[in-house]
Amino acid sequence: MNELEGRPILRPGCRLSASSDLLLIPEGALRLQGPAAHIVQACDGVKTVPEIVATLLKNFPGTEEARVWDETSAFLTKLRDRAILEFV
Amino acid sequence: MSAAPQALIAELTYRCPLHCVYCSNPVQKSDSARELSTEDWVNIVQQAGALGCWHLHLTGGEPLLRTDLEQLVRTGRASGLYVNLITSGLGLSRERLRALVEAGLDHIQLSFQDSDEGEANAFAGLRAHAQKLRVASWIREHRLAFTVNIVIHRQNIRRLEEMIGLAEQLNADKLEIANVQYYGWALRNRAALLPSYDQLRRSLPIVEAARSRAAGRMRIAYVLPDYHAKYPKACMGGWGRGLMLIDPAGRAMPCHSAHVIPGLAFPSVAEQSLRSIWEDSPVFQRFRGDDWMQEPCRSCDRKTADFGGCRCQAMLLANDAAATDPVCSLSPHRAVVDDLIRQAMRESDRQPAWVYRIEPVA
């Protein structure tokens, strides 16, 4: 899935709330559940998607790797399509 | 009882250096001399955070005329709010913008009146355009969400393509093109501002083409004039459902035009907490839910989508704030709107004879 190449980072004006349960964006907010907040926190413009997946696998041991890949890719794609995330 | 408001709209002042012919602020600004103190606003912003609001929209008038703006941005951020500034850019310097960003500003919405400098200045009644261009370039020196707002109407809709081009050139993250809504000063100038159906129809493919061209770089929101719509807008996302507005004197309102509805006593933030205003005040409950609705809204499937449209518009056009918004094709008052459109079109070939909003600038 080469469209997720690069290092994801939140776009200007998008950020996690102090309590990390909300992703605040200009038009509103998304409530983050499960590992979503961890994924967003890992989008620091430094780590690549494979590195983010590796971090998640370390934080959530015992989770099936293919599933983490699928869910992370789907989530990041959604955020990118909504102009919340960009790849640098 | 209703879930907490998602956003608090803080109208810090009605003062403004611009004299826009479509200004949506109240025509009668009897309270304009009285503005809340810094302390009052700090208290309100903190309450909004505690109540569970997500967003704080700092607006006016021109909010930059408040010298305490930086402090309010800082308080908003410290209270857990996402802070948005809605501004004309007049009164902003590169240094002041940096201070606002350092205070925690998340998003800035900068207004333009046109892509053409001469026309833009004519609509604003002030040579403001060049300053706005400077402000836009300073904004891009920061990591900040940047939205360009442009109000369109019959006199500038023909330059829609150029206006979109301007926002692209300025590297905006988002462009909001909004047709004039007819409240406040805009209502007085409606005959000069209302676009024809044909102008509107021609604008749609222009916006569509620009959306594809700018995909991934700039998003475009396009607000159509509801006079030409088949169904009304979901005004304010429904009365008392998601938004609370505080006017410069500290009156809490469900929307900025609600003062046109007689008999509403707006609670004062000096006397009541935001929470009690939101949950218990009669004004916020007046058109909440659907018990107040008349036919055809009451039995309409769309009542949970558009909430019967705009209560202020129902008041202004049908003289009944609980009526179906007269712009709705199902409204028994729709003929009033069609007459207004015909009347405006009869004057469309003439030079606009509009009235500028002139106020002493304190």
Residue in A41, A34, A38, A39 with CA at minimum distance from that of residue A15: A41
Average pLDDT, chain B: 92
Q: What is the pLDDT of residues B113-126, one digit of tens each?
A: 999 999 999 999 99
- Interface predicted TM-score of the whole assembly (ipTM), two decimals: 0.91
Q: Is B274 exposed, middle or buried (0-12, 13-18, 19+ CB in 10 A)?
A: buried
- Tell whether the model's pLDDT for residue B188 goes beyond 90: no
Both tokens of A34, joined, read 């499960």
For the stretch A12-39, pLDDT in tens is 999 999 888 999 999 899 999 888 999 9
Query: What structural domains does chain A harbor?
Result: 8-82 (1.10.10.1150)
At position B98, the amino acid (one-letter code) is: R
Within 31-60 of B, beta carbons closer than 8 Å to A belong to: 54-55
Query: Chain B neighbours among A 35-74 (CB < 8 Å)?
Result: none
pLDDT of residue B352: 60
Shortest Cα distance, chain B CAs vs residue A17, angstroms: 7
This prediction's pTM: 0.93
Q: Answer yes or no: do A29 and B144 touch at CB < 8 A.
A: no
Residues A35-73 pLDDT 10s: 899 999 999 999 999 999 999 999 888 889 999 999 999
Phi then psi dihedrals of residue B291, to 5 deg: -60, -30
Residue B362 has a pLDDT of: 35
Return the residue in A25, A31, A81 with the most chain B beta carbons within 10 A, the one to mutate for interface testing.
Answer: A25
Residue A2 in this model has a pLDDT that exceeds 60: no
CB within 8 Å: A13 and B219:
no
Q: What is the pLDDT of residues B58-71, one digit of tens each?
A: 999 999 999 999 99
- A31–B contact, CB cutoff 8 A: no
CB contact under 8 A, A24 and B146: no
Element spanning B130, H or E: helix B129-139
Lowest mean pLDDT among B97-111, B186-200, B234-248: B186-200
* Residues on chain A touching B143 (C-beta within 8 angstroms): 12
